[in-house]
Amino acid sequence: MKLKSYYTDYIKTKAIDLGFISCGISKSGFLDDEVKRFEKWLKNNYHGKMSYMERNFDKRMDTTKLVEGSKSVISLLYNYYPTEQIDNNKNFKISKYAYGRDYHFIIKDKLKILIDEIRSEVGNINGRVFVDSAPILEKAWAKKSGLGWIGKNTNLISKKSGSFFFIAEIIVDLELNYDKQIKDYCGSCTACIDACPTNALYEPYKIDASKCISYFTIELKENFPEQLDEDFKNWIFGCDICQDVCPWNKFSKPNDEQLLKVKDEIKNFSKKDWIELTNEVFDFAFKDSPINRTKYQGLKRNIKYASKQF
């Protein structure tokens, strides 16, 4: 018991040392509470064209199928709230998480250091690191690990940090002390639902992702439907509306990660610059950015659609 507590405290301390703002731990296994909800979500086609959400259902529900013999899921939060606020009231808008370098590289490097630290302290353990790149329900595990609650906008919300953070996991075959879930603090607030311009948040705690601006501008790889008549509010990559209006994000604090610092192009581009963006400039400016996920043609599609509306 003492050794288990020592390892638990050691991991959480090292996580904070590496820049994570929170670390919670839960028992690896089957997510009983998520099965019916997720099945219904898929059946209603709320995932749109994201067919990858239909694959590996068993692994999404059971982390012991992702890491055989695993006993613990270590969930971590990494702050991306920007140090510099962009005045984009009259410009096209980019989601805050994409202001700087691609977070996958930044966080995965830190996770690899952390798991190496754990192995040096504990011994040869079996484990894997995950950053938004595997069939794992990250928000559900973070909730189970006591890092926050799932808000009415379907994002994980922390009382002390808001919701502008990345979620990552390390799944290991090491038994640790497990954290307890916390209660929901959304109360009667419906700010996120009221602010959503496309009605993607059709009910509290429920999202039709196929109507979300982030889905259209990032996930959808084909042309927009001809009958599409949604107001994207100038967003050309992602959308932060439901987070921007959330009262809990008054507790968001700027991150100190230099690699997440806003790119000059995002900070200085005018609407005219975005509209006239060439493939060469795109490749140079966004080669190591999350924005590269849309590819040049995808971003130009988004800009063209947003330009028609305003």
Catalytic residues: 132
- Look at strands 165-172 and 72-79 and give their pairing: antiparallel
Q: How would you class 52 by CB atoms within 10 Å of its CB: exposed for 0-12, middle for 13-18, buried for 19 or more?
A: exposed
Q: Cα-flanking dihedrals φ and ψ of residue 167, to 5°? A: -115, 135
Reported as type and span, the H/E element at residue 170 is strand 165-172
Angle between the N-to-C axes of helices 295-309 and 279-286, in degrees from 0 to 180, rounded to the nearest 10: 110
Q: Where are the alpha helices (DSSP H) in the chain?
A: 2-17, 35-43, 57-61, 103-122, 138-144, 191-195, 213-214, 241-244, 264-268, 271-275, 279-286, 295-309
Distances in Å between the Cα of 21 and the Cα atoms of 77, 148, 163, 171, 256 are: 6, 12, 12, 19, 11
Angle at 152 between CA 130 and CA 47, to 5 degrees: 55
Distance of CA 306 to the CA centre of its chain: 24
CB 98 within 8 A of CB 238: yes
Q: Cα-flanking dihedrals φ and ψ of residue 77, to 5°? A: -115, 135
| CA atoms of 91 and 274, how far apart (whole Å) | 9
SS (H, E, C) 41-93: HHHCCCCCCCHHHHCCHHHHHECCCCCCCCCEEEEEEEECCCCCCCCCCCCCE
CB 282 within 8 A of CB 265: no
